[in-house]
Structure 1
Amino acid sequence: MSKPTRWVTDTAEDHSRWYVDRFRRLAAEGADLAGEARLLDALVAPGSRILDAGCGTGRVGAALAARGHTVVGVDADPVLVDAARTDHPGPHWLVADLAEMTLAEAGEAEPFDAAVLAGNVMAFVAPGTERAVLARVAAHLRPDGVMVVGFGTDRGYPLGDFDADAVTAGLRREHRFATWDLRPWRDDADFAVTVLRRPADGPSPTS
């Protein structure tokens, strides 16, 4: 990993363990943790191959796998990946830096139909790697594959920068919403969910 992520530099030392415990508690309480997965499921064909980029504890990828998709989850934090492997067997969970990952080296050479970056992933990557992250994820998509990215608009990564980085990464914006349940976008929204696509006739994305 070339740079430490904001998840490492901007949180307390025991933050990852707290995060694992929090989502285990929410799951035990019956909280709805599958909103992002429902959106992805609606965008792709049954049995799609989906990359959960910045998978954390695996809640999104697990919900997609339960809907019949083949899921590969990637996160830079081994504590979170260990929790995903323990709590959600089935998907292939991997430790890797999103800005540098080449999943063929981990036996995942087949391109993905879709990718999801939920849970403020883009706000927690290492500063200055945002464009590389988008490009590396896009490079793992098949032509015409879809990517859905959600993060808070007050998390230090301006939407204008995100849009420019997405274009540079070879992605085309199709939709933007204010929530994962598709409430209409407005300029003062505190969260943005953006649907991007790798054009079928576009060049291969590079970081």
Structure 2
Amino acid sequence: MNISPELFEQDSDMSDYTPFSHGLYIGGKWPPSSNGRVIEVVDPSTEAVIAAVPDATLADAAAAVDAAAEAAASWRETPPRRRSEILRRCFELMTERAETLAALISLENGKALRDARGEVAYAAEFFRWNAEEAVRISGEFGLAPSGANRIVVDYQPIGICVLITPWNFPAAMATRKIAPALAAGCTVILKPASETPLTAYALAALYE
């Protein structure tokens, strides 16, 4: 994906997101799609093509699953307090880069900049909320209705979460799914809408 630098010439923070121009984000790397194809991203306000993102294949999807599976064990064993600190940092980074993210949302989604700023604030809050919830995951111990047995409930990460998001809230619908999954100790694969994928790329680079 290539975004012309002049689109953000008044926003120095855009340099923070240069990694998302390198391709898909899988296993800490940015490879192109395995077939070399791309999807054009259009600015709905001008109908101009502003970027092209990799058109992921089934092989790319399988690679993403493998990467998420490889990371699952260590993330599952990461102490809840550490997971909480990481999620809190994601909230802080989104807040610090709010204007850049809002400009990107407005560019690819077409919503007013004021609304885009509101979405960024809303989206960041999912990380702050779940940062606090990460340390509150506990079990349950109770008495069975019969009175003859004790019931113990233990909450554990379910595994890899595949997250699919719509075009209309490219930041908020992503963080609404990513943050609780990570807080619970799961790894994630995000498939953003092809109409508005640029925000997801920026978030991936920011969280990295």
Q: Which category of TM-score, normalised to the shorter sequence, fits these structures?
A: under 0.3
Give the TM-score of the pair, scaled to structure 2. Answer: 0.28
Greater percentage in helix = 2
Give the TM-score of the pair, scaled to structure 1. Answer: 0.28
Higher RCO (CA 8 Å, separation ≥ 6 residues): 2
